[in-house]
Chains A and B, each alone.
Chain A
Amino acid sequence: NAGVTQTPKFQVLKTGQSMTLQCAQDMNHEYMSWYRQDPGMGLRLIHYSVGAGITDQGEVPNGYNVSRSTTEDFPLRLLSAAPSQTSVYFCASSYHRTGGNYGYTFGSGTRLTVV
């Protein structure tokens, strides 16, 4: 039972480079999301998906793209990396049932540095 798997764990990029952060879940959760964690700011939602083929923006979407072609995978793309995107990125999958019964599972994170 792997849960949510994120790769890579660490990455250093130069300004202007592009890359994709991978996220996969094996729990058949319909919802997936990406957060970034910055000191003193908690986690902020970047993009999320409510099912295959459906994505939407969160609080801080600029500079990031996502797609959801399968239930299992939800990659996050940085098209042209900037130093402001230096952060720790977490992917999560979740289920939402009636009565507020929600369950969220987080990956172990990707620490990204843009120089």
Chain B
Amino acid sequence: GDSVTQMEGPVTLSEEAFLTINCTYTATGYPSLFWYVQYPGEGLQLLLKATKADDKGSNKGFEATYRKETTSFHLEKGSVQVSDSAVYFCALAGVSGSARQLTFGSGTQLTVLP
């Protein structure tokens, strides 16, 4: 079945540092890929998404490129802020199986220090 493998945390960075959170996936066909963010005590918010190979999703300075050849969707940000501290989840919506419901990675806790 579909699966998502995400870089394990926690990750601690200083403000203005470069961020990369790795995400790779296993799925049949061409799934849609997502990054969600969860701030403390809150639900999940969509950060960005990509629906086909070579698409780049971007939002709030975060970027991720759908790489079919490496089955990856790594999250990057050039300069993190304290307000970016949160848990980040990589997810996919497959083209078969559970009616295209989301399959999540285990999440990566990011802490940004001032």
Q: Which residues of A contact B (CB under 8 A)?
A: 31, 33, 35, 40-45, 48, 50, 56, 58-59, 90, 92, 94, 96, 99-104, 106-109
Contacts and interface: CB of A to CB of B under 8 A. Distances in A.
A44 B43 contact: no
B44 A106 contact: yes
Interface residues of B, number: 27
Contacts of B52: 99-100
A109 B87 CA distance: 15
Nearest to A109: B43
Contact of B30 (A96, A100, A108): A100
Interface of B: 4, 6, 30-32, 34, 42-46, 51-52, 89, 91, 93, 95, 98-107
Contacts of B103: 45
